[in-house]
Chains A and B, each alone.
Chain A
Amino acid sequence: MYIPWFALILSLKVAVFSLIVNLVLGLPLGFLLARKQFWGKEFLDTILTLPMVMPPTVLGYYLLVLLGRNGFIGYGLEHYFGINLIFTWQGAVIAASIVTFPLIFKQVRTAFEGINQQYEQTAQMLGISNFAIFFRILLPLAWPNILVGLLLAFARSLGEFGATLMVAGSIPGKTQTMSIAIYEAVQSGQDTIANSLVIILSVVCVFILLSAKYLSSHKIHT
């Protein structure tokens, strides 16, 4: 079986990095929307959920417009820092992050909303600061649910195609991820390569979904 190691490792690398980005952004945002009241809250939720329903190619196009050499962000990055994100693996990470963000953010919000507020009140009455309550009560109770979101996002990242292709292109040995390599292999008639790639991705995705299922059935009942 032929295994294109580079594409496989690149896909995993992109998925891991986008997971970290989304955990850092999604955890505080999900918590904020679950527990705080502020003006425009549901509007913010809608905006943050938008990538879930938009076609990845549309997201990729937006990113291209924003991050490209003449784009709003891209121009500044290139001009002041000499950074160009288009056709790089870092660009693929941004694309995958945006596409998978709602999966993590939604799951984080639901996870925190599902915790009975009386646990926080109990901990307050026991003299624990609100900041410590987050780490001692809320995060441990929400974590199994958040982990499910992370796994789904990881699987989704591995399969990301549209937005990644728009932003990072398909440069073999540089930005060609697994899912894009499959497309290229089929296009050029290399069926054996396509077959082995498809099998690997399928096995990984089934494994991740089974793990998510296992985790959600072993949750702590709150």
Chain B
Amino acid sequence: MTRLYVNIQNSFSFAKRSFFLDVEFASNQKRIAITGPSGSGKSLLLQSIAGLITPEQGKISFGDIVFLDVEKKINQKPQARNISYLFQHYNLFPHLTVWQNIAFPLTKGFFNPRHKSHFLQVEEWLERFELTGLGDFYPEKLSGGQQQRVALARALIKQPQILLLDEPFSALDYQLRNKIRNQIDEWQRKLNITVIVVSHDPEDISQFGNSIIELKNGHGNEIKSYTPR
């Protein structure tokens, strides 16, 4: 069964150069790594899957769900795709506490979450990522590793079907990198979600690359697929 199918074409014009992204791959893996030199379109591919960019041509589907089909005029909003996206710089909301950041996706209305009693699961996630006691702090008071764990808790609390990671460990030192990589590994198994990681770190690729997509100057296809025994 093909779980993730991506076939997109899109031209971008940046300040001084134009760029054409043309990617096709299908994967039935739950751990997919996208790699390639910088400027090869890795992040653009990830943003297309997320729905933050709408390609001019193509189709993206996940299982039975069609995220995008330009011909049939189907284009699900990012909000509807049930994907979590862990950005390179975490993007914790600076005006909200750690607790509010993690509870953020749990309220959909016009107000940020306030009453702790309504969201007991936040405490569990704080505990799981060794953040107990930091709930009332603002993100700027946290270390880089702590910030990343908050971002990860916030991404996982909404129970996504796909977790996208954009160069997730590039801002961390070596030891922290291994630790968080193993935590993501562990949670991928526990929640049985699909993880797609963009990276050029060989260790990320060997750990998450059951399927490896290699991009070169905007063109890419699958170079390795591994079938679990």
Contacts and interface: CB of A to CB of B under 8 A. Distances in A.
Interface of A: 116, 118-119, 121-129, 131-132, 135-137, 140-141, 220-222
Contacts of A131: 110
Contacts of B154: 126
A140 B110 contact: no
Contacts of B105: 126-128
Interface in B27-50: 50
B94 A123 contact: no
Given A118-B89, A121-B52, A122-B85, A128 B108 contact: yes
A129 B78 contact: no
B112 A136 contact: yes
A140 B93 CA distance: 10
B79 A129 contact: yes
Interface string B137-168: 00010000000000000110010000000000
A140 B158 CA distance: 23
A132 B94 contact: no
Main secondary structure of the interface of B (DSSP, over half): loop
A119 B108 CA distance: 16
Contacts of A121: 52, 78, 85, 87, 91
Contact of A135 (B83, B94, B110): B110
Interface in B63-112: 77-79, 82-85, 87, 89, 91, 93-95, 104-105, 108-112
A136 B111 contact: yes
Interface of B: 50, 52, 77-79, 82-85, 87, 89, 91, 93-95, 104-105, 108-112, 140, 154-155, 158
A142 to B, nearest CB: 10
A221 B139 CA distance: 11
Contacts of A116: 91
B79 A124 contact: yes
Contact of A132 (B87, B108, B158): B108
B91 A129 contact: no
A119 B89 CA distance: 10
B94 A141 contact: yes
A125 B105 CA distance: 9
A129 B85 contact: no
B42 to A, nearest CB: 16
Given A132-B108, A136-B111, A125 B95 contact: no
Contacts of B87: 118, 121-122
Contacts of B91: 116, 118-119, 121-122
